[in-house]
Amino acid sequence: MTDLFPFMRFGMFAETVQSTPQKEIFSLQILLPDGRRQLLSERQIGLDESHLNYLARTYFYQQQLDFFALHLKKSGLLKEKERLVIIHKTLEENHWKQDVLFDQ
| Positions in the binding site for another protein (CB under 8 A) | 3-10, 12-19, 21-23, 25, 44-47, 49-51, 54-55, 57-59, 61-62, 68, 71-72, 75-77, 91, 94
Q: How far apart are CA 79 and CA 104, in angstroms?
A: 13
In Å, what is the CA distance from 79 to each residue of 10, 69, 89, 95?
35, 15, 25, 33
The nearer residue to another protein, 14 or 99, going by C-beta atoms, is: 14
The nearer residue to another protein, 33 or 50, going by C-beta atoms, is: 50
Q: How far is the CB of 104 from another protein (least distance, A)?
A: 17
Q: How far is the CB of 55 from another protein (least distance, A)?
A: 6
Residue type, 99: D
The nearer residue to another protein, 22 or 38, going by C-beta atoms, is: 22
> What is residue 51's three-state secondary structure?
helix
* Cα angle, residue 13 at apex, residues 63 and 40 outer, rounded to 5°: 50
